[in-house]
A and B are shown apart, each in its own frame.
Chain A
């Protein structure tokens, strides 16, 4: 009886064999991690000191590509290079990040500058509009708000715009905040 039981057990194992084979596959997980962009302001956007002919409207345009243009009754208040004369110039930023990556610059199309009167009262002057804000990157000067970081992950871009000076604008010092955001694209 014992022998028969043992034999039946072996036979059952033969019909439903227990197996244990293994196989492996070499999969892969991949990711590309890039360094974050760092932006450093090198200079502010400055329209310099401007005079306006009486009864006229004027403008000062700073084009990052072609330079400064005065329009209407506006003109520079001093000669460039003379003592105390503030030269108008574009704003300049340095960008650092992943070499070879494209990036984009976001800036508003226009902003408003608030003024402080220079008549000794420290009163507030009417706001002035800065319009047509434009960007020019050194890496891709024809592509406006887009640039490409060089082999060392660096680039520079300039920002310009047009200051509109209405007739009757009082003498004042004007300031504005220009938010600039740089992101990979």
Chain B
């Protein structure tokens, strides 16, 4: 369908000025897209970032890496609570079944927040992922990643996110549930 439309553009080109060509070509290129399913990208939060249960005197830090390594400073873990990274899955639907290998260039943005509950304040920072080549991310900072080797209509990539939690405690304890918004921007679908 797209090829027919382009031939139409070429035939018209002989008789029209350049600005007219641009308009017509844009319309012709847009027409097939309206007939196929539109590409779509989505991201799903599958697992929370879990820092577990611990106590601290006045201030402490706990870090959970994307690989699950847990470290802490000025905190004491309590009980058998498990700590672990968050998990997200990006899904891209290219909108057609063309059997053509492609890569996806995406931009990731993780927004950390702080939260105060009673006399306890928690601040998220220094995110890391198990995506190769993506280093530590500060809240709001973006990273670029290429999902390679996509072939089918649906292409997915699951990855994990770790982070650092800084806690200050004035009084008592608290159960902190901090929002961890992840935004994925599809930059381009590139032929592999």
A residues in contact (CB < 8 Å) with B: 2-4, 6-7, 10-11, 13-14, 16-37, 98, 101, 184-185
CB <8 Å contact, A31 and B165: yes
- Whether a CB of chain A sits under 8 angstroms from the CB of B130 is no
Query: Could you list 6 A-B pairs, sorted by A, with CB under 8 Å?
Result: A27-B45, A29-B51, A31-B176, A33-B54, A35-B55, A36-B56
CB <8 Å contact, A35 and B169: yes
Q: How many A-B residue pairs have CB under 8 A?
A: 165
CB <8 Å contact, B51 and A31: yes
Contact residue among A2, A22, A31, A35 (Cβ-Cβ distance under 8 Å from B185): A22
Having A24-B183, A27-B161, one finds 9 other A-B pairs with CB under 8 Å, namely A14-B2, A19-B187, A24-B182, A26-B179, A30-B175, A33-B173, A35-B169, A35-B173, A98-B173
Instruction: Tell me, rounded to whole Å, the shortest Cβ–Cβ distance linking B93 to chain A.
Output: 10
CB <8 Å contact, A21 and B86: no
CB <8 Å contact, B41 and A21: yes
CB <8 Å contact, A184 and B78: yes
Inside 8 A of B188's CB, which chain A residues have their CB?
A: 16, 18-19
Report the Cα distance A17→B90, complex, angstroms: 20
CB <8 Å contact, A29 and B186: no
Count residues of chain B with CB under 8 A from any CB of chain A.
65
B residues in contact (CB < 8 Å) with A: 2, 6, 9-10, 13, 18, 21-22, 25-26, 29, 39-45, 48-57, 62, 76, 78-79, 81, 86, 88, 90, 120, 122, 124, 161, 163, 165, 167, 169, 171-191
CB <8 Å contact, B45 and A26: yes
Contact residue among A11, A22, A32 (Cβ-Cβ distance under 8 Å from B184): A22
Instruction: Tell me, rounded to whole Å, the shortest Cβ–Cβ distance linking A140 to chain B.
Output: 17
Report the Cα distance A6→B18, complex, angstroms: 8
Instruction: Tell me, rounded to whole Å, the shortest Cβ–Cβ distance linking A13 to chain B.
Output: 8
User: Which residue of A has the minimal Cβ distance to B127?
Assistant: A29
Inside 8 A of B178's CB, which chain A residues have their CB?
A: 28-30
